[in-house]
Chains A and B, each alone.
Chain A
Amino acid sequence: AQTVTQSQPEMSVQEAETVTLSCTYDTSESNYYLFWYKQPPSRQMILVIRQEAYKQQNATENRFSVNFQKAAKSFSLKISDSQLGDTAMYFCALVYGSEKLVFGKGTKLTVNP
């Protein structure tokens, strides 16, 4: 069974600053994908960033980057130059093959002006 744990229910950051959201996971598979999804009040899950487990290089997407530590089963998300529009729930998720996404409970991020 695969599990995803997000230990920070809520976080806040000042506009333009940097914040890191934590995620740990457990899986017995060796080849899997990890994701961070953003869910604003509109409820639509938006893919922020994706990491393939067999790639050692950390994924980056503009202001978003991850710190992927495979041995430690850790997958944190760093948001640089935080913007008010980054305010949302953030979910870490894992998938193996064609199976279902397994989500963490989420972190509510508030960006303050």
Chain B
Amino acid sequence: GAGVSQSPRYKVAKRGQDVALRCDPISGHVSLFWYQQALGQGPEFLTYFQNEAQLDKSGLPSDRFFAERPEGSVSTLKIQRTQQEDSAVYLCASSRGAMNTEAFFGQGTRLTVV
């Protein structure tokens, strides 16, 4: 597709359930980022891939969060044993090169944990 695609757009999970959020970056984009956006806040960095290599995961809030990009294209963010504080919008962004000078964002997945 022409842009970054994320699915699902909305996800309601019961506390304790595992969820998987998908990101399809723009074809050929080397860099892929995940951000978490709490209600009324700016996005905060979670993790960064360059091709299939996860170069920075310093923003992942706990070991319940895991991300992968096995073939250097599609990425999945997995949250295990979801908790209420995980409720947020999860944004994916990709950029053409290693330098993050123009990132294109998807529409995000709104996760609500009940």
CB atoms of B43 and A91 under 8 A apart = yes
Residue numbers in B under 8 Å from A44 (CB-CB): 105-108
Q: Could you tell me if B50 and A45 are in contact, using CB atoms closer than 8 angstroms? A: no
Residues of A near B102 (CB, < 8 A) are: 47, 50
Count residues on chain B whose CB falls below 8 Å from chain A CBs. 29
* Segment among B17-25, B73-81, B92-100 that sits at the interface with chain A: B92-100
B89 touches A43 (CB 8 A): yes
B31 at the interface (CB under 8 A from A): yes
Give the interface size class of chain A. 20 to 34
- CA of A62 to CA of B106 in the docked complex: distance in angstroms? 24
Nearest opposing residue in chain B for A105, CB measure: B42
B45 near A91 with CB under 8 A, answer no
Chain A 41-78 interface mask (CB, 8 Å, partner B; 1/0): 01111110010100000000000000000000000000
Complex formed: what's the CA distance from A64 to B65 in Å?
Answer: 38
For the complex of A and B, list the 3 residue pairs with the smallest distance between their C-beta atoms, beginning with the closest: A103-B42, A45-B105, A100-B45
With A45-B105, A98-B55 given, can you name 14 additional A-B contacts, CB distance below 8 Å?
A43-B89, A43-B107, A43-B110, A47-B104, A50-B102, A91-B43, A95-B101, A98-B48, A98-B98, A100-B45, A101-B43, A102-B45, A105-B40, A105-B41
